Amino acid sequence: MGLSASDTDASRWISAFQKTLQNSGWTDGRNVKIDYRWGTGDARTIRTYAAELIGLAPDVIVTRGSTASRTMQQETNSIPIVFVAVSDPIGSGFVTSFAHPDGNITGFANHEDTMAAKWLELLKEIAPQVASATVIHYPENPATAAFLHAIEAAAPGLGMQVARAGVRDAAEISRAFEVLARESNSGVIALADVVTNVHRELIIRLAAQYHLPAVYAFRYWARAGGLASYGADVVEQWRGAASYVGRILKGEKPRDLPVQAPTKFELVINLKTAKALGFDIPPTLLARADEVIE
């Protein structure tokens, strides 16, 4: 995991993973042993822990996100890997196809690059006056490029401009928002990756501080105070990963387990945040929302 061990959302995902694994006949401490490593958004720490886990000679490894998955893929081409929340697994070089992964790695993809255009559309729908969007992202994420290109391609049709803000730590995030605050009619799209996820509370707080409309990729951002999110059901992906782990422990191979694309997407609007920032959410948007936080 690229997140912190104290991350409450990560704890929910792990709980869903463990319960599903137990339903498949595998109970931690009884007939399976689960070791955890938490990268806390630091690429060097993730590399160190990846090597440690390989040294334990596990039967299967679970990774979350593109950065952790890429690091683990570089460490082994024989130990089975099941990834969760990876964007563009083909373009990132994890698998050759969804139907036939053809290697030691498979898992659950969370977005296609076309999803990025929907984030920009959502931002414009919430705040029609927005003329430019800054994309906050971790530049080392192998899936970032596809999302950036999709957002930039969609911008002219919405009468918008797009800027990029690559961030690697809290200080760079703060500086990016300071630049944004000096611009008028601007908004934010925060891509979810190893750095932004760890610092999501900071990003949400800065967006509120500078009264910037911001759109995020997952429900847990909106539930943490973010204005709006649209993305895959993360908990469902962890349940799927547990199912795949159980099948691998019983002898199946990753190459025979197709990569799964999400089937459920959630639109969440934080009406409390919208009111605090002075945004009037269109009734048609509220009607489409899967969850409205008040």
The backbone torsions φ and ψ at residue 15, rounded to the nearest 5 degrees and listed phi first, read -60, -45
265-270 β-sheet, strand order: 161-166, 132-137, 186-190, 214-216, 228-232, 265-270, 291-293
Q: How far apart, in whole angstroms, are the C-alpha atoms of residue 75 and residue 81?
A: 11
Q: Helix or strand or coil: residue 117?
A: helix
Q: Where are the domains of the chain?
A: 8-110+233-263, 115-231+266-293
Per-residue model confidence as pLDDT tens digits over 211-262: 999 999 999 999 999 999 999 999 999 999 999 999 999 999 999 999 999 9
Decide if 221 contacts 229 (C-beta within 8 A): yes
Task: Kindly tell me if the per-residue pLDDT of 24 is higher than 80.
Answer: yes
The residues near 99 (Cβ < 8 Å, ≥ 6 apart) are 258, 259
User: Which of 214, 137, 210, 147 is closest to 179 using CA atoms?
Assistant: 210
Q: Supply the CATH classification number for the domain 8-110+233-263.
A: 3.40.50.2300
Mean pLDDT to the nearest integer, 197-203: 96
Average model confidence (pLDDT) for the chain?
95
Per-residue model confidence as pLDDT tens digits over 178-193: 999 999 999 999 999 8
The residues near 104 (Cβ < 8 Å, ≥ 6 apart) are 76, 77, 78, 79, 80, 81, 254, 255
Per-residue model confidence as pLDDT tens digits over 97-150: 999 998 999 999 987 778 899 999 999 999 999 999 999 999 988 778 889 999
Q: How far apart, in whole angstroms, are the C-alpha atoms of residue 197 and residue 221?
A: 9
Q: Supply the CATH classification number for the domain 115-231+266-293.
A: 3.40.50.2300
